[in-house]
Chain A
Amino acid sequence: MHEDLIIAGFGGQGVMSMGQMLAYAGLTEGKNVLWMPAYGPETRGGFANCTVIVSDMEIGSPIVSHPRSIIVMNLPSLDRFEDSVKPGGTLVVNTTLASRKVRRKDIDVILVPATEVATELGDLRAANMVALGAFLECKPMISFKAVKKTLQKVFANKKSVIPLNEKALERGAEIAREQRKARSAV
C-alpha cells in the first residue's frame, strides 16, 4: 500500500489540519506517514496546500508532482491542480466554492458541496471533514475508525465539536457513496 494525496484550498479552510489528521490516523494504524506543507511567502486567505503520504514502505521523496489523489477546496486550487492528478487517480472537488466542470475524463471525480453541507450541519468550518469523508469513501487509505479516534485526540480539549465533525465525515462519505452508485447505474 502506497498512497499520496495533495489537499489544496485557501488559508483558513482547514487543509493543513485535514492533512495532519490523516497522517496522525495513519500513524495509529502503524503505517509510515509523511505530511508536508507547501511553504512560502504566504498571505492570509492565500493558497494553502499540503502533501500526505501513507505507505507500508519506507517513504522516499516527500515531493510528489503527480499524486494519486487530490482534494480541492476552492476554484483556484481546482485550476492549479486538476492536471496534476495521476491518470486513474481521484479528484474530490468542493463544488460550493469550485462550481466549474472538471475537464479530466481519465480520473475518478467526486463532487461534494462541502461548504454548503457543513453550513447545513451547523458550522462551515467542518467543510474539510465533509471533503475528507467523501475522499475516504473512495480511497480508504485510512480507516474511518482511525480517523474518528484521531478526532477524539485532536479535540481532546474541545470535545463539544467532535459530534459535528463526525457527522460531517459521515455525510461526506454518504454523498460520495450515492454519487458512485448513481454513476455505476448509468
Chain B
Amino acid sequence: MSNKVLMKGNEAIGEAAITAGCRHFFGYPITPQSELPAYLSKHMPKVGGVFLQAESEVAAINMVYGAAAAGARVLTSSSSPGISLKQEGISYLASSELPAVICNVMRAGPGLGTIQPAQADYFQAVKGGGHGDYHNIVLAPESVQEIIDHVRLGFDLSDKYLNPAMILLDGALGQMMEPVDFGDYKPELQEKPWAATGCKGRKMNAITSIHIDPRDMEAHNIKLQEKYSKIRESEQKCEEWMLEDAEIMVVAYGLCARICKSAIRVCREKGIKVGLFRLISLWPFPEKKLDKAIDKVKEVFVVELSAGQMIEDVKLVDNGRKPITFHGRMGGMTPSVEDISDRIELIHDRITQKVG
C-alpha cells in the first residue's frame, strides 16, 4: 500500500509548507481556515520553526514582509475579509520583490459574508488586489493532494520570480478530508544573496518599495512588467479533461471544477460530447491552451461560485469567436451536479437544434 494518509485541506497546507522548508508562519485566526494555524502552532515548534499569532491581519502581513526580506520561506493565511486587510502589505511585497506564500481559504462576501464556499475573490487575487500595477502568482487547487502540490509550487515560483504567490481555495476544500501522499519531496532552497541578513563584511542590501523620483519609479514598474511577461510566458497551468472530442467546453476551477467533472460524467453517459478546461494557474491565466481549445468546440460554458469574474478573462481569450454562457451561484451556495448537467444538456439540445 502507498503512504497515503487522510488529511483535512487546511492541515495539508500546513504540512506542505513545512515539507517545503517554510519555518515561519504569521497569521490571525478566521473561519474557515483556522485548522491551518492550529496545525502549525503545534507542528512548527517541532521543526524549530516560528508560529506567531499576530494582533491583526495587518500586523501579520508586515511580519511576513520582514521575514521574507530576511530571506525566510514564509507563509500567511486568512479568509476573504482578512485577505482584504492584508492587501496593502501584499502590494508592498510585490513592489519590493519579496517571495511569500499567502493562502486565501475563501468565504462568501462581500462584507463579513458567510463562511460557506465561494470564488468571489477572483478579481482581488488575479488583478492585483492592492494598489499599483502588480500581479500575484495565483494557484487554484481542486483537491487536498493538489493543495500540497500547489503550496510547494507556490514557494518555488515565489522564490524563482521574487513575487508573492497566492493559493486560492474555498472553505469546502479546506474542511474536507482526502487521502494524500507527501512523497519523499525535498525542497530546493535557493541562495538569497539579496536578503537583509546583516551586512557585516559585505555591501548593504536595501529592500524597499519607495522610489521618490518618478523616472526611477517608472523604471521599477517596467522591470516588474518584464518579470510578469516572463511569468506569463512560462508558468501557465491547466488541465484539459475529456476535451479530445468535445463540442461543449466547461471552464471552471477549484471546487467548482470538481462539481463540473461529476456533471460531465453524467452527460457523457447520455452521449453528450462535453469536457472541462480546468484552470490551475489563475494568474498567469492559461490563455495559450484555452485559445487553442476554444477553436475546437462549438460553445463555452463558464461555471463559477461568483456573479461572473473569471468569465471576463475567458471572454478576452475567446474574443467573440464562440458563444459563452454562464452559471454562477453566490453567497456560499453551490450548484448541484444535476443543476450543471441539466444546463449542459440544454446547451447540447440548442446546438443540435432540438429546440429553438
User: Which of A's residues lie within 8 Å of B, judged by CB?
Assistant: 20, 23-24, 27-28, 30, 32-37, 39-41, 58-66
**Residue pair B255, A40 in contact (C-beta under 8 Å):** no
Are B176 and A35 in contact (CB-based, < 8 A)? yes
Given A39-B175, A60-B259, also A27-B115 (CB < 8 A): no
B18 CB to closest chain A CB, in angstroms?
22
Q: How far is the CA of A64 from the CA of B259 in the complex (A)?
A: 9
Chain A residues within 8 Å of B27, by CB? none
Within 8 A of A (CB), among B90-110: none
- Complex Cα gap A59–B337 (Å): 13
Contact with A along B158-178 (1 / 0, CB 8 A): 000000000000011001111
With A39-B32, A39-B171, A40-B115 as given contacts, are A63 and B177 in contact (CB-CB < 8 Å)? no
Q: Which of B114, B171, B262, B334 interacts with A60 by CB under 8 Å?
A: B262
Q: Does the CB pair A40–B258 fall under 8 Å?
A: no
Q: B333-350: which have CB < 8 Å to A? A: 334, 336-338
The tally of CB-CB contacts under 8 A between chains A and B is 67
Shortest 8 CB-CB distances between A and B: which pairs?
Answer: A60-B262, A60-B261, A61-B262, A36-B176, A35-B177, A61-B259, A65-B336, A27-B179
Whole-angstrom CA separation of A58 from B334 in the bound complex:
20
A83, chain B: closest CB distance, angstroms: 14
| A62 close to B176 (CB less than 8 A) | yes
Which A residues are CB-close (under 8 A) to B115?
39-41
Q: Is the CB of A61 within 8 A of B179?
A: no
Contacts A28-B1, A65-B336 given: A34-B116 contact, CB under 8 Å? no
Bound complex: CA A37 to CA B8 (Å):
10
In this assembly, does B4 line the interface, its C-beta being within 8 Å of a C-beta of chain A? yes
Does B265 have its Cβ within 8 Å of any Cβ on chain A? yes
Q: Once the chains bind, are B171 and A63 in contact (CB under 8 Å)? A: no
The answer to whether B6 touches A24, judged by C-beta atoms less than 8 angstroms apart, is yes
B239 to chain A, nearest CB (A): 12
Question: Within the complex, which residue of A32, A62, A64, A66 is in contact with B179, where a contact is CB–CB below 8 Å?
Answer: A32
The minimal Cβ–Cβ distance linking B252 to chain A, given in whole angstroms, is 11
Q: Is the CB of B179 within 8 A of A63?
A: no
| Chain B 10-46 interface residues, beta-carbon cutoff 8 Å to A | 31-32
- Distance A137 CA – B249 CA, assembled complex (angstroms): 42
Interface centre among A27, A37, A41 (most CB of B within 10 A): A27
